Structure 1
Amino acid sequence: MKAQLLVTGSSGFVGSHLIQQLMGRTEYDVRALVRRLPDVMATGVDYAVLPDFSTVTAESPSLLGIDVVVHLASRVHVMNDTESDPLEAFRRVNVGHTLQLARSAVAAGAKRFIFVSSVKVNGEQTAIGKPYTETDIPSPVDPYGISKMEAEDALRELAAQTGLEVVIVRPVLVYGPGVKANFANMMKWLKKGVPLPFGAIGNQRSLVALDNLVSFILTCVSHPAAAHQTFLVSDGEDVSTAQLLIRLGESLSSPARLISVPEWLLVLGATLLGRKALSQRLCGSLQVDITKSRQLLGWAPIVTLKTGLDATAQHYLSEQTQ
């Protein structure tokens, strides 16, 4: 008998790729919970419209017969938040709406709830060679990370009360075809041949390719050992900012033009320009240990960093020619 799978956030960067992968899987019936129907609907996917997650109940038709929920929808991290109370805005969606959906799902008969959280629950920075693990005490810094931590805690409490199998997945920076924000900016800089002042940056950062993250989520959908667990997920191959730019430049056939500027000078300049957070992402380290994911679930990344960067670059180049 097929498992009934509900996916939220199906139009997003990760969710749309997950839906594409599920289209080829015969062991699931897939329902996508959306605020409005997409212009192009995936073949074989049942779409349920729910304008506001706060209104979902156990009697909602969208939850009828669902076995597993993959919850990707969230209020995402933004660099320049205009909300008067950003933490409250994040809590309303990432905590309140998540818990409302989970409560309704378990009351409707769902057995498992996969919550895609964030490495920001762990924190913002690690020392080189001392990666985050799932057993570390959470230390979120910004409202987004705090809201994700609070949602995790609320889901664990719900699991203890109801037996719902909660699975928490904390990805690092996700890249892949169609990636936006800073990653897209790096590709733009490289293609334009802009000299970049990161040649002396020797940090180490974990990344996760879109294919690897989706593969991991699908593993968590059905693996018995995933129940009631928290996982960090990455490509298992860490790079410095300089190494990332060099390898991404190779994928784009646009060699990186790196200038070796001392890290302290970069941080100072960025701070003076009001971009301290960006300098931390480019100069600081953030590594995760995926040993638990490998050993408990028998999972391994399905694509290498090179393959992931190549796919990302090719998609970017194809968009530039359209």
Structure 2
Amino acid sequence: MILISGSSGFIGQSLLSNLNDSEGISLRENGWERKIQINNPEVIINLIGKAHDHNGIATEEEYNYANVELTKEIFHEFTSSSAKLLIHISSLAAIEEFESKIPLIENATCRPSSMYGKSKCLAEKWLLSQKLPDGKKVIILRPPMVHGPGDKGNLMLLYRLISKGIPYPLSSFDNKRSFICIDNFSFFIDRIISNYASIESGLYHVADDEALSTKDIIAIIQNTTGKRTINIAIPKILIKFLAKIGDIIPFPLNTKRLKKMTSDLLVSNKKIKVALGIEKLPLTATKGLEKTILSFINS
């Protein structure tokens, strides 16, 4: 039995579909603790957490409660349950949110800048500091942006822009970023569950084998949808000036958003591939993205 906390979201629903003998639990329900105890799970996957707040109204206390305190509660239930493995889904934001031209490894210095990233980092540090009962393991996964059917995040917004024929205005920037498609994410989870006896507790990065630039993503969207748009290479100095205006007054672009959209952010998945004996992931980054875009079209 595999119990998944926070299973109502895009990733949780995908895991429920892909993992045999899996069931979701909601911490909003009274008695969720008892459900863990009576189901005798072998594995608990923790997806509970508060994501980025793009409206800027969430407080530090809300982030710490959702991402740290609830993680502590789940850990305590795990240690007193029959489960042998806790897979905690953290985020790349716990270590870096904006830029890394060198693929990030697990022991790189953590530099979270948002309340979201800082709370994710705090949860990681707390879990790593805990003494585990004999026979139990905790695996912490840091994915970059996860995409796939059902995703309603930034990739969907870019798809809508391109599919409507609206020109992309940031073509003067050339960047590469790591992503992970839900198929590869689920593959990692399945392999961890099947082989957890031979993998050490600790931190692991999961990502597609290849990074993609924004230009790559736009080309994949254009090829998949058959829509062709003109990419406008507005001078960088003008874009950065407009972003600074967005720091002061309401504007679709500000310096933080620009940096996230145009900087390199690379992730190494070498550690977990070596630990699990994985040579190649099921989908390339390009094939995974094509599958996601097709799901947008079909929906």
The two structures have a TM-score, normalised by structure 1, of 0.84
What residue number does 2:285 align with?
305
Q: Which moved more, 1:192-201 or 1:218-227?
A: 218-227
Pair 1:78-2:53 in alignment: yes
| Separation in structure 1 between the aligned mates of residue 66 and residue 114 of structure 2, nearest angstrom | 15
- Give 1:105 shift: 1.7
Contact 2:36 2:77 survives alignment (8 Å): no
- Give 1:93 shift: 1.3
Secondary structure at 1:310 match in 2? helix
What residue number does 2:86 align with?
113
Distance 1:167 1:127, change over 3 A: closer
- Give 1:245 shift: 1.2
Pair 1:250-2:230 in alignment: no
CA offset digits 1:178-200 (Å, max 9, x no partner): 22132111111111110111222
What residue number does 1:66 align with?
41
CA offset digits 1:96-149 (Å, max 9, x no partner): 011111111211232111000000111123343x11111102111111111111
The equivalent position to 2:273 in structure 1, one of 289, 294, 306, is 294
| Separation in structure 2 between the aligned mates of residue 287 and residue 256 of structure 1, nearest angstrom | 27
Pair 1:315-2:281 in alignment: no
CA offset digits 1:58-92 (Å, max 9, x no partner): xx133321221011121112212313xx2211111
The equivalent position to 1:167 in structure 2, one of 106, 114, 139, is 139
What residue number does 2:29 align with?
51
Contact 1:212 1:302 survives alignment (8 Å): yes
What residue number does 2:123 align with?
151
Secondary structure at 1:77 match in 2? coil
Distance 1:256 1:308, change over 3 A: farther
What residue number does 1:97 align with?
70
- Give 1:56 shift: 5.0
Shift >6 Å, 4+ stretches: none
Contact 2:79 2:132 survives alignment (8 Å): no
CA offset digits 1:259-314 (Å, max 9, x no partner): 11233332321231232222111111110011112211123321112221221121
Pair 1:19-2:16 in alignment: yes
| Separation in structure 1 between the aligned mates of residue 293 and residue 132 of structure 2, nearest angstrom | 46
Distance 1:87 1:225, change over 3 A: farther
Secondary structure at 1:6 match in 2? strand
The equivalent position to 2:6 in structure 1, one of 4, 9, 12, is 9
Contact 2:128 2:202 survives alignment (8 Å): no
RCO comparison, higher one (Cα < 8 Å, 6+):
2
| Separation in structure 1 between the aligned mates of residue 97 and residue 25 of structure 2, nearest angstrom | 31
Please provide the CA RMSD for this pair.
1.8
- Give the gaps of 5 or more residues in structure 1: 36-49
What amino acid does structure 1 have at the position aligned with 2:266?
Answer: Q
Contact 2:48 2:70 survives alignment (8 Å): no
- Give 1:161 shift: 4.5
| Separation in structure 2 between the aligned mates of residue 104 and residue 62 of structure 1, nearest angstrom | 7
| Separation in structure 1 between the aligned mates of residue 50 and residue 194 of structure 2, nearest angstrom | 27
The two structures have a TM-score, normalised by structure 2, of 0.90
- Give 1:218 shift: 1.6
| Separation in structure 1 between the aligned mates of residue 32 and residue 8 of structure 2, nearest angstrom | 19
What amino acid does structure 1 have at the position aligned with 2:111?
Answer: S
| Separation in structure 1 between the aligned mates of residue 237 and residue 274 of structure 2, nearest angstrom | 39
CA offset digits 1:151-184 (Å, max 9, x no partner): 11111222x2534311010000111112213211
Secondary structure at 1:273 match in 2? helix
Contact 1:200 1:242 survives alignment (8 Å): no
| Separation in structure 2 between the aligned mates of residue 73 and residue 127 of structure 1, nearest angstrom | 27
Secondary structure at 1:245 match in 2? helix
Contact 2:141 2:204 survives alignment (8 Å): yes
What residue number does 1:33 align with?
25
- Give the gaps of 5 or more residues in structure 2: 248-253
How many residue pairs match? The answer is: 289
After the TM superposition, which residues 251-266 of structure 1 pair with which residues of structure 2 at under 5 Å, given as runs?
251-266=224-239
What amino acid does structure 1 have at the position aligned with 2:26?
Answer: V
Identity %: 26
Pair 1:182-2:150 in alignment: no
